[in-house]
């Protein structure tokens, strides 16, 4: 792990940003304060309804069973589950035991799962027998001492057990003591690069992040529907930590189906509070959307992917209170606009630095950040050494500008620049123009090989239902009307029904580049 400068540790502790609480302590207090709060899973295959008390009982039985198997503080517990009750039970049990939890996105395949399990070598792995693209492969976890499977009918096959058989008869009382500065979570980056990176957070960094997010949300945001996968750590925090701190109901859905989400919004008075822009725009673009749904979309906190101005202005025009945020797995909350900030700041910037966070821009405009929610480093020491300096600064890889009020706007990623004939082209800038083309619901621009110029821009677009893909000539005419320099115009246009995405909804551009390579 990286060495955190002593003066930063002293400051974070003095300000109360880092406390002696573990995640288990936070959960135990919150669960005791609101045991009758509703917890519900809206699922076609594994629906569940109960209260915090019911889930806590399962979690404490699981913790007791794992403790009997020798699992405790300092160990690691991995899970790959959809947005089901059992995922909450595994996370809560791990926290109560003082173990580090390793969430794995439920649609990862055997290659990704094998990579992650090999990197962290957990004492426990809990997964599902089958769900969508998820399929249990015993050989992938052959070296894991304790394996529990949700949904299996065959019990006790070697070291593989049914999830229910992991539950002890006795509940684990209280919490086991753990080092608050030690690992509490190992989250793997969402896969925008070929090999995921294991990001390690402590009880202190994740505790600060949770308290900070909980304090920043609008007080009248209503009952939230969580669709982001809990195998992605920010989805897990929003589903299983913040509601416990707030004493607010948990409503999960295990499949993102815009039509089903619209039905849940009206049928159960559930609100959609934001996330990646895709979650919000896919609702607006669905034929089942009506103006009546807007009462359940009062706020849209957008982040996790680039947030085009065309999207924020569209939402604001519908009366939705939009605000943007910027962060990453490594540094979850770097900047954000408050929901009641001036509209230009909310719509067109990524916000102001959050509590305890510092940022600066290097000579190339790259954002460097540090703060009490910054991770401890990577599971790979070489990556840690390259990303963090001795003063505690993290190189984000993102490029941005600061306005006179200290609001940050992300303009690009270092790896998301197209170099055409020696001239840099911002993919984000081209995407902004594409999104103003009638009928385009979503767009992504990547670099394509060019025998003459080295690279040129290739555009991928998802059209709204019933809208035809424009021709390349129509695209060029649109860009000419927009006044964008000719060298920035896309020279290829590809239509997609949907984009390959990370767990947080971000488009996986490396897969689009692979698609172009196959076409060549």
Q: How many C-beta neighbours within 10 Å does residue 510 have?
A: 15
- Separation of alpha carbons 384 and 301, rounded Å: 30
Looking at residue 45, its pLDDT comes to: 94
> What are the CA-CA distances from residue 73 to residues 93, 206, 228, 306, 329 (Å)?
11, 17, 28, 38, 23
Quote the pLDDT of residue 314. 93
Provide the Cα torsion 306, 394, 188, 278; round to 10°: -10
Alpha helix ranges (H) inside 228-300:
233-240, 242-246, 258-268, 277-284
Domains of the chain: 23-201 (3.40.50.12780), 206-413 (3.40.50.12780), 421-519 (3.30.300.30)
What's the confidence (pLDDT) of residue 3? 93
Q: At what angle do helices 203-216 and 23-33 cross, to 10 degrees?
A: 40
Nearest to 120 by CA among 177, 180, 83, 79: 79
> In which residue ranges of the chain is pLDDT below 50?
191-193
State the Cα–Cα distance between residues 47 and 83, nearest whole angstrom. Answer: 10
CA distance 151 to 389: 46
Length of the chain measured in residues: 520
Return the residue matching tokens 């390690």: 200
pLDDT at residue 162, as a whole number: 93
Instruction: Tell me how far the alpha carbon of residue 360 is from its chain's centroid.
Output: 24
CB 98 within 8 Å of CB 72: yes
Are 210 and 19 in contact by the 8 Å Cβ rule? The answer is no
| pLDDT score of 132 | 87
Q: Decide if 244 contacts 27 (C-beta within 8 A).
A: yes
Q: Please tell me whether residue 296 adopts helix, strand or coil conformation.
A: helix
């Amino acid at each position: 792990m990286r060495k955190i400068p002593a003066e930063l540790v002293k400051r974070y502790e003095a300000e109360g940003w880092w406390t002696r609480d573990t995640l288990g302590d936070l959960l135990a207090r919150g669960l005791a304060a609101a045991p009758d709060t509703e917890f519900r899973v809206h699922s076609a295959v594994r629906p569940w309804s109960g209260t915090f008390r019911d889930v806590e009982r399962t979690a404490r039985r699981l913790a007791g069973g794992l403790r009997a198997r020798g699992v405790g503080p300092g160990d690691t517990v991995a899970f790959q589950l959809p947005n089901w009750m059992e995922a909450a039970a595994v996370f809560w049990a791990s926290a109560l035991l003082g173990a580090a939890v390793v969430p794995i996105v439920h649609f990862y395949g055997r290659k990704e799962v094998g990579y992650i399990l090999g990197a962290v070598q957990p004492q426990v792995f809990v997964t599902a027998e089958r769900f969508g693209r998820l399929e249990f492969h015993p050989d992938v976890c052959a070296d894991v001492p304790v394996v529990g499977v949700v949904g299996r009918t065959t019990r006790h096959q070697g070291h593989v057990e049914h999830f229910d058989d992991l539950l002890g008869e006795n509940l684990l009382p209280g919490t086991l003591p753990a080092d608050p500065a030690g690992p509490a979570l190992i989250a793997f980056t969402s896969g925008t690069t070929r090999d995921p990176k294991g990001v390690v957070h402590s009880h202190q960094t994740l505790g600060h992040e949770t308290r900070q997010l909980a304090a920043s949300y609008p007080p009248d945001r209503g009952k939230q529907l969580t669709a982001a996968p809990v195998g992605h750590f920010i989805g897990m925090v929003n589903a299983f930590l913040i509601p416990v701190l707030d004493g607010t109901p948990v409503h999960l859905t295990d499949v993102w189906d815009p039509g089903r989400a619209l039905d849940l919004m009206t049928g159960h008075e559930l609100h959609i509070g934001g996330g990646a822009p895709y979650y919000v725009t896919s609702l607006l673009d669905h034929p089942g959307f009506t103006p009546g749904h807007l009462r359940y979309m009062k706020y849209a906190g957008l982040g996790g992917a680039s947030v085009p101005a065309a999207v924020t202005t569209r939402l604001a025009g519908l009366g939705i209170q939009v605000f943007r945020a910027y962060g990453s797995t490594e540094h979850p909350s770097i900047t954000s606009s408050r929901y009641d900030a001036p509209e230009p700041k909310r719509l067109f910037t990524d916000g102001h630095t959050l509590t305890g966070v510092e940022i600066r821009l290097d000579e190339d405009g790259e954002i460097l950040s540090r703060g009490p929610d910054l991770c401890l480093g990577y599971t790979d020491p070489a990556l840690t050494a390259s990303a963090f300096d001795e003063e505690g600064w993290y190189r984000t890889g993102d490029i941005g500008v600061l306005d006179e009020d200290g609001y940050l706007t992300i303009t690009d990623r270092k790896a998301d620049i197209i170099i055409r004939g020696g001239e840099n082209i911002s993919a984000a800038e081209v995407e902004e123009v594409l999104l103003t083309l009638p009928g385009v619901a979503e767009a992504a621009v990547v670099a394509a090989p060019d025998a003459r110029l080295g690279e040129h821009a290739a555009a991928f677009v998802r059209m709204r239902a019933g809208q035809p893909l424009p021709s390349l000539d129509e695209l060029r005419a649109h860009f000419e009307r927009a006044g964008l320099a000719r060298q920035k115009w896309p020279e290829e246009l590809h239509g997609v029904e949907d984009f390959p995405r990370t767990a947080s909804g971000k488009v996986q551009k490396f897969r689009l580049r692979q698609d172009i390579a196959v076409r060549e």
